[in-house]
Amino acid sequence: MRDIYILGNEHIEGDDLPTKIDIKDPRFKIIHEKDPLRLLDKDDLFIIDYAEGINNTTILTEKDLDRLKTINSVTCHDLDFATLIKLKQSTGQKTNVKIIALPVGKKIDKERLKEIILENL
């Protein structure tokens, strides 16, 4: 069974992805992760998250991290996942990353999302 992490905060409108995905399947387990720092010790990550600036669901890997916009952090709360993975990679630590990036503001088709997950396990 593969662990799939969903990032986001169900208490913040626009970042409330965890409240919208409740897909069940014996081949994977959805884990709602509120703290991306907990993922830094993992060498193989499969993530679902919202992404701005895309119109369709997009699959990204560790090779695509340079395409992701990183933020200039002001506080610990402002740390974003792309920044954390790039930092880990800069220290020579290899991390396999697969991200299903969902466009912000679009309705989630749960059946199609499940198909995309299974195609990318």
CATH number, domain with residue 47:
3.40.50.1450
Residue with the larger pLDDT of the pair 68 and 5 = 5
Three-state SS sequence of the chain = CEEEEEECCCCCCCCCHHHCCCCCECCEEEEEECCHHHHCCCCEEEEEEEECCCCCCEEEEHHHHHHCCCCCCCCHHHCCHHHHHHHHHHCCCCCEEEEEEEECCCCCCHHHHHHHHHHCC
Predicted pLDDT at 68: 65
- Band the pLDDT of 119: cuts 50, 70, 90: very high
Residue-range definition of the domain harbouring residue 75 = 2-119
Residue with the larger pLDDT of the pair 35 and 78 = 35
Counted domains in the chain: 1
Q: Is the model's pLDDT at 73 over the cut of 60?
A: no
Per-residue pLDDT tens digits for 6-59 = 887 777 776 777 667 888 999 999 998 878 788 888 888 899 988 878 888 989
